[in-house]
Structure 1
């Protein structure tokens, strides 16, 4: 289980991640961008979050990579959805159907739940392999 400090840092990171995406997407949160540009940014973010996700997971003090990956997915989906809801619905006067019009945001509410656990699983497998490779062969018995 991540420490209280880790939870706070994840929450802070999620806010600044959201703020950066908001600022890049101004003035209308990517709505005026052409379809191809939206697809391109989704692909770019997905590719960039593989090494970034591994880096972030490597910063956790415990070696429970898969569990940590689920916490990372949680903190980069639920808070971002809440921030989007506040910005688009409560401030912007839209409704919950924004998840369809802003599909390029909604994509990450789901994809991070696939991407980060995959990264955590790969890190877990690599750690297990390193331990196995470090042990001398056991005689058959």
Structure 2
């Protein structure tokens, strides 16, 4: 992957983090009731199914959807964790223990590593079926 692509994904991850942070102001969702955090986790997860497929098609044209989904998972978990760590653990002085009261953020640090590769695998499988008419042994 090119350096330009890495920079694009880093910018994509920052814009994603900033958007979620601004929506969660003033207390980064801490003031939201528990049930609404559950609902937002479900809605964001559901929204990322078509969003991930669209991103994989937009950012890469090589057909390596599974590999590319791993890059996407990396860029939408590790940088977001770093941004959250800098804000919550360092700036707000919560330490790494922020992952517990901000469990709804922590959820995505892991769920994207399951969700994105599953979507990438499915897209790659569908592409193989469309290409030769038979499922590929993956």
Same structural fold, with TM-score higher than 0.5 when normalized by the shorter chain: yes
Partner of 2:80: 80
1:31 is matched with which residue?
30
Instruction: Name the structure 1 match of 2:110.
Output: 110
Aligned residues: 133
- Counterpart of 2:44 in structure 1 is 45
Q: Which moved more, 1:5-14 or 1:77-86?
A: 5-14
**Structure of higher CA gyration radius:** 1
> Deviation at 1:48?
0.5
| Structure 2 Cα separation of the partners of residues 44 and 104 of structure 1 | 12
Q: What is the TM-score of this pair, normalised by structure 1? A: 0.91
Structure-2 separation of matches of 1:91 and 1:27: 15
Q: Determine whether 1:19 maps to 2:3.
A: no
Root mean square deviation, CA, Å: 1.1
* C-alpha deviation, 1:3, in angstroms: 2.3
Structure 2 residue 70 is matched with structure 1 residue 70: yes
Q: Is the 8 A contact 2:69 2:120 kept in 1?
A: yes
Q: Which residue of 2 aligns with 1:10?
A: 9
**Residue 62 (structure 1) shift:** 1.6
Please name the residue that 2:122 is paired with: 122
Contact 2:89/2:97 (<8 A) preserved: no
Q: Distance in 1 between matches of 2:124 and 2:5?
A: 19
Q: Which runs of 5+ in 1 are unaligned?
A: 135-141
- Aligned structure 1 segments of 4 or more residues deviating by more than 3 angstroms: none
Question: Residues 89 and 95 of structure 2 are in contact (CA less than 8 Å); yes or no, is this contact kept in structure 1?
Answer: yes
